[in-house]
């Protein structure tokens, strides 16, 4: 996908629905919903952190910078911003679930809603 950026590798990877579903079968990563406002979340979500406030939640993030982290939003753009921020903070195994909650529900899966 040509987006006008240089051809150098992004500091994070994009993953898509098929890969994400397989990863969820043996979940061994921190899953962060970065979408604002809150519309719900994928089951087994570990953290709710607004995409534009990642750096304000350092205490919630793993101390180990090599911990596997997957972020998602409604469809992808907020996840891109959050993943880029996490990478700039030194996290080395960051993935953005492209398609996010929209892709998840399009496969017939449900979102959960936390009680506030």
The pLDDT score that the predictor gives to residue 115 is 75
Torsion of CA 16, 21, 22, 23, to 10 degrees: 80
15-72: per-residue pLDDT in tens?
Answer: 999 999 999 999 999 999 999 999 999 999 999 999 999 999 999 999 999 999 999 9
Indicate whether 79 belongs to any domain.
yes
Indicate whether 74 belongs to any domain.
yes
What CATH number is given to the structural domain containing 20?
3.40.250.10
78-90: per-residue pLDDT in tens?
Answer: 999 999 999 999 9
Indicate whether 76 belongs to any domain.
yes
Q: How many domains does the chain have?
A: 1
Residue in the block written with tokens 């899953």: 31
Range of the domain at 58: 13-106
The pLDDT score that the predictor gives to residue 76 is 85
Indicate whether 96 belongs to any domain.
yes
Q: What is the pTM of this model?
A: 0.90
DSSP characters over 79-109: HHHHHHHHHHTT-SEEEEETTHHHHHHHTTP
Closest CA to 69 of 52, 49, 53: 49
């Amino acid at each position: 996908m040509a987006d006008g950026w240089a051809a150098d590798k992004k500091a994070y990877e994009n993953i898509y629905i098929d890969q994400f579903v397989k990863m969820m079968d043996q979940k061994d990563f921190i899953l962060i919903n970065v979408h604002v406002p809150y519309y719900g979340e994928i089951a087994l979500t570990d953290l709710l952190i607004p995409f534009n406030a990642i750096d304000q939640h350092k205490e919630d993030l793993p101390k180990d910078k090599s911990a596997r982290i997957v972020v998602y939003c409604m469809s992808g753009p907020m996840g891109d911003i959050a993943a880029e921020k996490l990478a700039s903070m030194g996290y080395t195994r960051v993935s953005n679930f492209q398609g996010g909650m929209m892709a998840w529900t399009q496969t017939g899966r449900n979102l959960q809603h936390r009680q506030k």
